[in-house]
């Protein structure tokens, strides 16, 4: 990533100007009676400093966001009415356009859609870090047409996430979990080269265990990635995998999201190989202790992805233990959005984390590639600082 991002101070005078702000208000929507409501307004509140700054400098502010996956057509399940209502409560006077993804031109990066989007606006601000890894019309199109800047949230995300690779305090410990190993091999390669220790858990860990020759029973595995995992394990760097796992046996039923579950399912802890038909769903006590000890002594921690099926309370202990270890770590702690942020919030530990990213996928791609389409577009804006 070369060149400095244009920031709010790089915009022209804003008094009497209209500013289009791309935000990431893709928030959880719940139901209160028959009314749709915002279930978690974290992403809305995170954008308020940028919106307030623009208004204080005399701009009229129009926000634009996506919400869900409406597949390029209007869908009442994904209209932004509840988001607009919550934004109006938090900061009156800001307009919010309808869901960008109601138009197929958004995801297709259609120039005609960009033209319609920027019409009537004088400047553009991207404060949607969580969407900036997508080359969508509202992300990469406006900087080629309007004076543009990174909002406060986006600039802070880039500073923090980029700093993990540039100048972390050591020991630097990365904790990577989640289900899909194929989605995270790239960032793992980057982190193994930079971090002192990489702890791997969650569903993705079983492909690594299979690459070591371990029998993993019915656990999640991507056979097409076993060789890539084997190569990564053989590379310089320290990767630690679970040595014991909590598993559910044949005939057992998983209950993601339920606070109480039926008793009687076959559940056991295994060290080493898993029997046929048994599925690993959490890390065991020994692994929790090893992982927590590595985190305890870290100067920097980056965590992305749960290490078990934490939505099912029977298999939340591993993720809860790591969340507590990250929260208690005296070093600088970063949680990379997504399910990790949801877990931290569920366990009541968000206030003990130094930085919680608003973009899980974007933070991983920035760590892996060092840049994002949305950032490159901003650096190409006519008002972007040159030669720095």
Q: Which residues are catalytic?
A: 43, 180, 338, 361
Residues β-bridged to residue 303: 175, 335
Residue position matching structure tokens 């577009």: 377
Q: Kindly list the distances between the CA atom of residue 31 and the CA atoms of 25, 38, 40, 261, 339, in Å, as whole numbers in the listed order.
A: 17, 8, 12, 23, 21
Judged by DSSP in three states, 386 sits in coil
Q: Which residues, 6 or more positions from 91, have their beta carbon under 8 angstroms from its beta carbon?
A: 48, 51, 52, 55
CB 112 within 8 A of CB 8: no
CB 132 within 8 A of CB 26: no
Write the CB contacts of 330 (distance below 8 Å, at least 6 apart in sequence).
Answer: none
8 Å CB contact between 249 and 312: no
Which region, left, alpha or beta, applies to residue 58 given φ > 0 means left and ψ of -120 to 50 means alpha?
left
- DSSP calls for 30-56: EEETTEEEES--HHHHHHHHHHHHHHH
Question: What's the rounded Cα separation, in Å, for the pair 110 and 138?
Answer: 10
- Could you give the 3-state DSSP secondary structure of residue 364? helix
> Residues 240, 307: contact at Cβ < 8 Å?
no
CA angle at residue 202 from 200 to 205, to 5 degrees? 55
Question: Under a CB-based contact definition with an 8 Å cutoff, are residues 187 and 176 in contact?
Answer: yes
Backbone angles phi, psi at 153, to 5 degrees: -65, -50
Q: How far is CA 175 from the centre of its chain?
A: 14
**Residue whose pair of structure tokens reads 């309007």 in the numeric block:** 146
Beta strands 332-335 and 355-356 are parallel
């Amino acid at each position: 990533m070369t060149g400095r991002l244009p920031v709010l101070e790089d915009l022209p005078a804003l008094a009497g100007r209209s500013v289009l702000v791309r935000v990431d208000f893709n928030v959880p929507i719940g139901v209160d009676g028959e009314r749709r409501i915002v279930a978690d307004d974290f992403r809305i509140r995170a954008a308020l400093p940028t919106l307030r700054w623009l208004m204080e400098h005399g701009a009229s502010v129009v926000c634009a966001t996506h919400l869900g996956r409406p597949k390029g057509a209007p869908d009442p399940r994904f209209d932004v009415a509840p988001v607009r209502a919550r934004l109006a409560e938090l900061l009156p006077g800001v307009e919010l356009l309808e869901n960008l993804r109601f138009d197929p031109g958004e995801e297709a990066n259609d120039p005609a859609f960009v033209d319609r989007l920027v019409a009537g606006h004088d400047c553009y601000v991207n404060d949607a870090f969580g969407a900036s890894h997508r080359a969508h019309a509202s992300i990469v199109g406006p900087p080629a047409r309007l004076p543009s800047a990174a909002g406060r949230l986006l600039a802070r995300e880039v500073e923090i996430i980029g700093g993990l690779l540039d100048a972390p305090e050591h020991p630097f410990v990365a904790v990577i979990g989640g289900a899909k190993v194929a989605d995270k091999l790239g960032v793992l390669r980057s982190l193994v080269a930079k971090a002192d220790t990489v702890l791997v858990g969650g569903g993705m860990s079983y492909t690594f265990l299979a690459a070591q020759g371990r029998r993993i029973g019915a656990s999640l595995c991507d056979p097409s990635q076993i060789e890539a995992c084997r190569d990564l394990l053989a590379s310089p760097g320290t990767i630690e995998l679970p040595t014991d796992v909590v598993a559910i046996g044949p005939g057992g039923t998983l209950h993601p999201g339920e606070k109480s579950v039926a008793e009687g399912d076959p559940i056991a802890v295994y060290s080493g190989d898993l029997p046929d038909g048994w599925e690993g769903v959490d890390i065991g006590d020994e692994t929790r202790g090893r992982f927590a000890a590595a985190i305890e002594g870290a100067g920097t921690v980056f965590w992305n992805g749960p290490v078990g099926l934490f939505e099912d309370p029977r298999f939340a202990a591993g993720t809860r233990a790591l969340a507590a270890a990250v929260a208690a770590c005296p070093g600088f702690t970063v949680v990379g959005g997504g399910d990790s942020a949801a877990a931290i919030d569920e366990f009541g530990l968000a206030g003990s984390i130094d930085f919680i990213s608003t973009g899980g996928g974007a933070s991983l791609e920035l760590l892996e590639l060092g840049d994002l389409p949305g950032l490159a577009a901003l650096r190409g804006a006519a008002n972007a600082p040159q030669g720095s």
